[in-house]
Amino acid sequence: MGKVKILSFDLEGTLVGSEFSRLVWEEGLPVLYAEEKGISLESALRLAMEEYNKIGPERVEWYDLRYWFRHFKLQADWRSLLERYKDSVEVYPEVEGVLNSLGQHYKLIIVTNTSRDFLPIQMKPLNPCFMRIFSAPTDYGTVKSPELYIKICTELGVKPQEVVHVGDHKRFDYTASRDIGIIALLLDRSGKEQGEHIIRDLKEFELRLLEPRKLNS
């Protein structure tokens, strides 16, 4: 294994929790729909979930709040919906210390499927130590894939083997990056997954970096 130059992180589920997004999609948007269309919240939530599922997480529209406001013909401002739940963003307990420590030795980036519209709020409580933030749907019109990781490595001028990526989605974070030679670890805070490349939190990730054989076995 060559010298690691870049540490790449997923955002939601890795650095910050998912409650903010959950509230936006499963509470805030259905509430607006119910109010504007004059239907019950229960009906609005059911309809919203059905429409989300028709698109699915393989398509960029899934992550695009502006798309959904157009789709549901909502008159409200999508920005106000994000603002409403800004205080629900929660950084995982170990993240700040780990980022401060690792940032002294590596260049740090974020590669996320989150739309850029969400990022100012989700990134605000994080230490501003990231060299680049890549939003797959906003910046590239795609979701995380081997091809995207190749583009990012090319933009950064590094070989895949010089990058370590960590995230909580088995395909988007682990398989897609590993397929091109990036050193990948799957973050599973639930404790359900088992395997050599599974970590439980970012403190364990930091410890793995001290033992390169545990990264690329």
Instruction: Give the pLDDT score at 1.
Output: 47
% of the chain with per-residue pLDDT over 70: 97
Whether 60 and 115 share a structural domain: no
Instruction: Give the span between the Cα atoms of 38 and 17, in whole angstroms.
Output: 32
Q: Are 97 and 200 contained in the same domain?
A: yes
129: confidence class by pLDDT, cuts 50, 70, 90? confident
Question: Tell me, what's the pLDDT at 2?
Answer: 60
Residue 69: the pLDDT is 98
- What is the spatial order of strands in the sheet that 198-199 belongs to? 130-135, 107-112, 6-9, 163-167, 183-187, 198-199
Collect all residues with Cβ–Cβ distance below 8 Å to 125 and sequence separation of at least 6.
16, 89, 91
The verdict on 210 and 110 lying in the same domain is: yes
Q: Do 114 and 98 belong together in one domain?
A: yes
Cα distances (angstroms) measured from residue 77 to each of 60, 116, 164, 176:
21, 16, 38, 35
207 & 111 share domain: yes
Number of domains in the chain: 2
Query: Is pLDDT of 147 > 50?
Result: yes
Q: What's the rounded mean pLDDT across residues 126-139?
A: 93
pLDDT at 98 over 90: yes
187 and 148 part of one domain: yes
In the predicted model, what is the mean pLDDT of residues 122-140?
93
At 56-72, the pLDDT tens digits run: 999 999 999 999 999 99
| Residue 1 included in any domain | no
Domain identity same for 81 and 103: no
Residues 143 and 39 in one domain: no
One domain for residues 95 and 50: no
| Predicted confidence (pLDDT) at residue 215 exceeds the cutoff of 80 | no
Tell me, what's the pLDDT at 216?
60
CATH number of the structural domain spanning residue 119: 3.40.50.1000
Q: Among 38, 59, 87, which residue terminates a domain?
A: 87
Q: Please, which pLDDT band fits residue 76 given cuts at 50, 70 and 90?
A: very high
Point out the domain boundary residue: 51, 69, 87.
87
Q: 80 and 98 share a domain? A: no
Q: Is the pLDDT reported for residue 83 higher than 70?
A: yes
pLDDT tens by residue, 166-210: 999 999 999 999 999 999 999 999 988 888 899 999 999 999 998
**202 and 99, same structural domain?**
yes
pLDDT of the residue at 217: 52
- Pair (117, 190) in one structural domain: yes
Which residue range(s) make up the domain with 63?
Answer: 19-87
Per-residue confidence (pLDDT) for residue 214, from 0 to 100? 63
Could you report how far apart the first and last alpha carbons of the chain are, in Å? 10
Global confidence as pTM? 0.94
